[in-house]
Structure 1
């Protein structure tokens, strides 16, 4: 496999102004060349790591008066690296094909460049674009796929940012696609026309499967039927178990308006940052004196419609990983039902469950702050293997504590290296079914308890849904996350403090 060191080589110097980037990108087989690295400090270490990260078999000679400990360790780990601790001499370039200088001595850099050109060698001088024949670009790698980024030496920071964006947006599974396409190419026989004909036959099923349209129609009706069924059950339970609900048209409790406004704001926040609807709604409900079980019921009822629509849209756009969906659905629903049942059963002990939920929301508030400030502990990505256990735990915590499905399941899937878009679509569509089953469990156990708060939350979030996406594009997600984290943390601490005061 060709290894990428330099993504740009200036083979044809140009004196023209305004012609844009004149560099020509190439992929160099470093394992078949010998590279001279001059300099043994921190910059030299950076260049050495760049070479080895792209080709662990690269042959390198390092020349420097002073060698840092990290370079010495790398030389022991990679025996093909030749280390010479001495001042640079032009004779060190004999037998080399590439030269990289990482020194802070301008006179020495000029000497290195002159000696390299006398031997017809390409040279890179760190942090000196005017002295370089080629640049070391930012690189994105997904298996056999490598993408090199150049700003023509104008802004390494922008190049690194593009690298981060591409690394996040390109799925790791793309390498598997490359391997399969390579195997397919090797199996194709005949001339070019015959290969194209066979390739069309293989890929035809991907774009001409009429059963996909039938599946989409059936799934669309399934979502709408589930929404209508849950709304009907909810209205019947409210009407028969809560006589006060019938006086709604005569007199409206002011609590309804408070939760109407709160539901609207929380849905807007969720649309801006893609999370925190559950934790903000739960914190607000507890602060308003609503017990944990009715609070969680209101949150899940309000999420049935929004997640149903979002899940359908992701399904329509092809953003659902069905294998992942099957692994999450049943465990997630079971966990949600058990969590809702336990929380409802403990309704008479709400004075004691309330501080537990407050502690949980406080922890989520801290998590939101850490995400906003980018100070979470970074670890090597490892795919989550026990998807069912993750779904069960996420569903249980989500129902028992009023939220957390996205924080637990979605964040772990993405942190484990799964594609963010497909993870989001799958989690959203699964969340729809979890919201329905947990809501029905709450309704069967609690009836229409605190209906004014529940109804206000449902209508408020529904009103915000159509405009949340448009507004979110004009708001700083980081600012909102910081504010949400601080507010949730303060409210949670207040709820815990109130419980402690009552005990004393």
Structure 2
């Protein structure tokens, strides 16, 4: 029962972050599961099996709201499924000691990307009349699916920002289409893990806990979207992922030391400070735009 509660908390926290940022459920859940000594392959398999239900619900919701471009889904879902199956097969056949640094490295890169996007990133520019081509979608799907399975998450952080930055599809359609595609990717990864690990290797308390926590967190995540700034949330989440997975890599290479950890926490503090400054600057610019006369008088 105690383990179920722990894993439910992991699912709750991961879903809260995912619902607020629009990504990072798998990255957060896998990072926390590995930190609680769950084997990397079991962690990724558990996350993907739990996500089968959440991605289906998410994809249907976006479809009903008209957020899905099915031509884009058709071009990226297939390669994504192939990449996910291959990634699950690779991770299932790695030893626990070999898999931990590999997964930690991938998650660390995704954590850095979250910082880059939400703390330092700029709003995307959408080019009217453009559509993403199969030349972009096929390799992106293959790579995103492979990273998603081997890293325990990563479909959203890899595909969504890349397509938004390309300017070939409205951001609303990008998010909806990638959410719909993720269901296919998740099912494919789950099949790969079930074949590679077998049903007996999975702890259904982990999967059940993630599901329960995710369902409970959904309404709270919607509240956070409205009340918490994305740069600050991105800085907090990215920092936690960077510190946690850096610790795993340091342990694997016997390079742990107090100065390194002090440096990591100092770096996290800098990211958070920059995010706070960015939010304050945005609020000041908005206030100036709404009250140009007062801004002129004040200067």
TM-score after normalising by structure 1: 0.47
Q: Tell me, yes or no, if the aligned pair for 1:301 and 1:458 is still in contact at 8 Å.
A: no
> Residue 388 of structure 1 corresponds to which residue in structure 2?
138
Please give the alpha-carbon distance, in whole angstroms, between the structure 1 residues aligned to 2:213 and 2:43: 15
Cα distance in 1 between the residues matched to 2:148 and 2:215? 20
Higher helix fraction: Structure 1 or Structure 2? 2
Secondary structure, aligned partner of 1:275: coil
Question: Pairwise mapping of residues 176-215 of structure 1 onto structure 2 (< 5 A)?
Answer: none
Q: TM-score, normalised by structure 2?
A: 0.77
Total equivalences in the alignment: 249
Partner of 1:286: 34
Q: State how far apart, in whole Å, the 2-side matches of 1:402 and 1:285 are.
A: 10
In structure 1, distance between residues paired with 2:203 and 2:219: 26
Give the counterpart of 2:213 among 435, 450, 460. Answer: 460
Structure 1: unaligned runs, 5 residues or longer: 1-251
CA distance in 2, matches of 1:364, 1:479: 17
Which protein is richer in strand relative to its size?
Answer: 1
Match of 2:3 in 1: 255
Among residues 79, 82, 107, which one is paired with 1:361 in the alignment?
107
CA distance in 1, matches of 2:56, 2:207: 19
Offset of residue 430 of structure 1: 0.8
CA drift of 1:389 comes to: 1.5
Correspondence list, 1:31-430, <5 A: 252=1, 254-346=2-94, 349-374=95-120, 385-417=135-167, 418-430=169-181
Matched-pair contact (CA < 8 Å) for 2:20–2:221: yes
Contact 2:41–2:99 (CA<8 Å) still a contact in 1?
Answer: no
In structure 2, the residue matched to 1:480 is: 233
Q: Tell whether the 8 Å contact from 1:299 to 1:457 is kept in structure 2 after alignment.
A: yes
- What's the CA shift string for 1:280-322, capped at 9, x where partnerless? 1111111111111111111112211121111112112222111
Unaligned runs of 5+ in 2: 257-299
RMSD: 2.4
Instruction: Determine the C-alpha separation between the residues in 1 that align with 2:51 and 2:41.
Output: 16
Residue 502 of structure 1: CA displacement?
Answer: 9.5
Name the CA shift for 1:477/1:380 in 2 (closer, same or farther; >3 Å): closer
Q: Quote the residue 1:161 is aligned against.
A: none
Q: Is the 8 A contact 1:306 1:465 kept in 2?
A: no
**TM superposition shift of 1:415:** 0.7
Aligned with 2:228: secondary structure?
coil
Separation in 1, partners of 2:186, 2:121: 32
Give how far 1:345 is off.
1.8
Provide the rounded CA distance (Å) in 1 between the counterparts of 2:245 and 2:158.
19
Partners of 2:193 and 2:219 in 1: CA distance:
27
How far apart are the structure 1 equivalents of 2:229 and 2:39? 33
